[in-house]
Amino acid sequence: MNKTLPLPIAGQSRRTLEIEVFRYNPDSDQSPHYQTYEVPCEPDWVVLDAINYIKDHLDRSLSYRWSCHMAVCGSCGMMVNGEAVLTCHAFIRDLPDQIRIEPLDNFPVARDLIVDMDSFVEKLIAVKPYLIAAKERSLDEGPYIQSPAELQNFKQYTQCINCLLCYSACPQVSLNVDFAGPAVLALAHRYNLDSRDMGRSVRADVVASNEGIWECSFVGACSEACPKHVDPAAAIQQTKIAATGDYFLHFLTPWKKKHKKSVELSE
């Protein structure tokens, strides 16, 4: 745990915040409860600094995830006053004197501010988030070549840090826990758009199923919550258009078989 806290900004004063934190230890608690801490916050602190202060100075039993403190690792997502945010990216100066910190919505709580991500990881694996090439190249044949323009086609969707904010913001995830969800569908779209990939029809088994793109009602909350501007809502709508085209093409060219051979070989 990093105990080095940021230095104060000249001319701005420290504020004491009343921070209400969701607590739940499955080994000892019958049910969750809230615990309030008075935290003296420096003007340039983010919420994660205040949580680290609690851990370092007030209550060592508090459990939560974080790593990079720079909006890269995706592990510090929590609900702050009801909004899904990266706590290392949410400044105290933008918040009132009383705040409530809770684990991300739409996930089971493992302990305190830590959620159980297993269902998300299972959904992620199901869409085969890796390149599926039409033909494996040997090392002698060299790398798969891609132009800058081809990269630009999907680059936005590579920015995802798996922070899960979009799952907490999504009303469809809260209604149907089996919905593949925004980040998973955006990542599938990222590979489907990649000029080196031939796995779209294979991913379609999950992506174009009832629990895939068609479950999305295009509220757009996922894209608003996303701290990396991935725009998963756009990815899902683009995938709907592509899947609709595939559906009609299937009737026009019934002799075309799904490209599954390379996947079977890789499994």
Query: Binding pattern to ligand FES, positions 171-210, x when CB under 6 A?
Result: ----------------------------------------
Q: Which is nearer to ligand FES, 52 or 239 (CB)?
A: 52
Query: Binding pattern to ligand FES, positions 86-105, x when CB under 6 A?
Result: x-x-----------------
Can you tell me the distance from the alpha carbon of 84 to that of 267, in angstroms, rounded to the nearest whole number?
A: 36
71 binds, among ligand FES, ligand SF4, none (CB under 5 to 8 A by kind): ligand FES
Q: Is 71 in the site for ligand FES (CB under 6 A)?
A: yes
Can you tell me the distance from the alpha carbon of 222 to that of 227, in angstroms, rounded to the nearest whole number?
A: 10
At closest approach, how far in Å is the CB of 69 from ligand FES? 5
Q: Which residues contact 116 (CB under 8 A, 6 or more apart)?
A: 107, 108, 109, 110
Binding ligand SF4 by CB under 6 A: which of 162, 192, 201, 239?
Answer: 162
Q: Which token pair is 220?
A: 């757009």
> Do residues 225 and 160 make contact, with C-beta atoms less than 8 angstroms apart?
no
Task: Candidates 50-58, 99-107, 158-166, 246-254: pick the segment binding ligand SF4 (CB under 6 A).
Answer: 158-166
Q: Is 166 in the site for ligand SF4 (CB under 6 A)?
A: yes
3-class SS letters over 1-66: CCCCCCCCCCCCCCEEEEEEEEECCCCCCCCCEEEEEEEEECCCCEHHHHHHHHHHHHCCCCCCCC
Q: Which positions touch ligand SF4 (CB under 6 A)?
A: 160-166, 182-183, 186, 225-226, 228, 230, 232
Where do contacts with ligand FES occur on this chain (CB under 6 A)?
Answer: 66-69, 71-76, 86, 88
